[in-house]
Amino acid sequence: MSSPETPAAALMPSIGERESARRVRRSSIKTTLIFWSFVAPLMLGLILFFFVPIIWSIVLSFSEARAVILPTGFAGLRNYRDLLQDQQFTSSLLTFTIFAFFIVPTTFLCALGLALLVNSAKFAQGFFRSVFFLPTACSYVLASIVWKMSIFNGTRYGLANAILHLFNLDPVQWISSPNPPWYWLVLVTVRLWLQLGMYMIIFIAGLQEIPRELYEAALVDGAKRGWQTFWYITVPQLRNTSIAILLLNIIAAYQAFDEFWNIMSGGNQSLLRTPLMYLYNVALGSQDYGLGSAGAMILTIIIIFFTLLQGRLLGFGRSN
């Protein structure tokens, strides 16, 4: 959509925006048809494979549904109440919000940093791009196993402990001991390793989209290469890409599951549980699909809240 999302001060003022707004008001049947000819295949698929299950889940969340997928009774808000009063669930939400506040900016900045470093390397650029992107090819389960078994295991010969040993330090129980909670280090490093490459590549594609002429024009106008061109050209041009990456990061943080499940296994799970792990135990373990769906709705509402917050602050992307 070409009209601006927020009334906030535009970094890219354009008269073209207002003109296109006028054109929009004459929304014709032709435009509608053209729009749907582009978007229909996606929507049809989403309706069948997402919206039907989502609506079904919403219905389940207000129902009694244990070991069955069809409601056996109306439960009103009971599932929601039970979850929100469950200290195990609410503490998982709180821990996760803190985790998200930390991991989202970190991933964003590191990915951007990597993208800039790699994109501006004059040779072996392809090599570095590949190396950083490669972990994306690794599954979360496999990475978790490597992290748990080989790098951060608690024996003297785990890689991390072997390094400590070099400095004559005692081995640390990275995963199973809560004081101090070193497992955060394990979980954050595995997540960064797995995800940075993907976001980096998207940033690189965004960086490549920036017309070179913008930079050259700026230099003619006396801007210096480096910080000034970065702040005044690169950042605004990356706006749309950044918004997407930020949003996807937030969503991913709240849906964290695989590496947590595999690294904090057995009794260690009690030390740290993501909301989704709790729901997985509930919906699939206890087969309480009503409760599980209610939990999914609660998580979704939280994600929507942060998305709207981001939208309010940064917008959802403008056309140039």
Q: In Å, how far are 65, 82, 114, 214, 275 from 61, measured between CA atoms?
A: 8, 11, 42, 52, 16
Closest CB to another protein among 98 and 124? Answer: 124
State the Cα–Cα distance between residues 72 and 80, nearest whole angstrom.
Answer: 17
State the Cα–Cα distance between residues 263 and 216, nearest whole angstrom.
Answer: 49
Site for another protein contains 105 (CB under 8 A)? no
Looking only at residues 5 through 44 of this chain, which bind another protein when binding is defined by CB under 8 A? 20, 23-24, 27, 31-32, 34-39, 41-43
Cis peptide before 180 (omega within 30 of 0): yes
Burial class for 78, CB neighbours closer than 10 Å (0-12, 13-18, 19+): middle
Find the binder of another protein among 10, 72, 109, 313 (CB under 8 A). Answer: 72
Site for another protein contains 310 (CB under 8 A)? no
Do the Cβ atoms of 191 and 99 come closer than 8 Å?
Answer: no
Find the binder of another protein among 11, 50, 101, 105 (CB under 8 A). Answer: 50
Do the Cβ atoms of 260 and 229 come closer than 8 Å?
Answer: no
Site for another protein contains 90 (CB under 8 A)? no
Find the binder of another protein among 17, 80, 84, 86 (CB under 8 A). Answer: 86
Closest CB to another protein among 185 and 303? Answer: 303
Looking only at residues 155 through 194 of this chain, which bind another protein when binding is defined by CB under 8 A? 155-159, 162, 173, 175-178, 193
- What's the closest the beta carbon of residue 106 comes to another protein, in angstroms? 15
- What's the closest the beta carbon of residue 140 comes to another protein, in angstroms? 8
Do the Cβ atoms of 250 and 307 come closer than 8 Å?
Answer: yes
Site for another protein contains 94 (CB under 8 A)? no
Which of 101-109, 129-137, 227-235 is the region at the interface with another protein (rule: CB under 8 A)?
Answer: 129-137
Q: Partners of 64 in the beta sheet?
A: 73
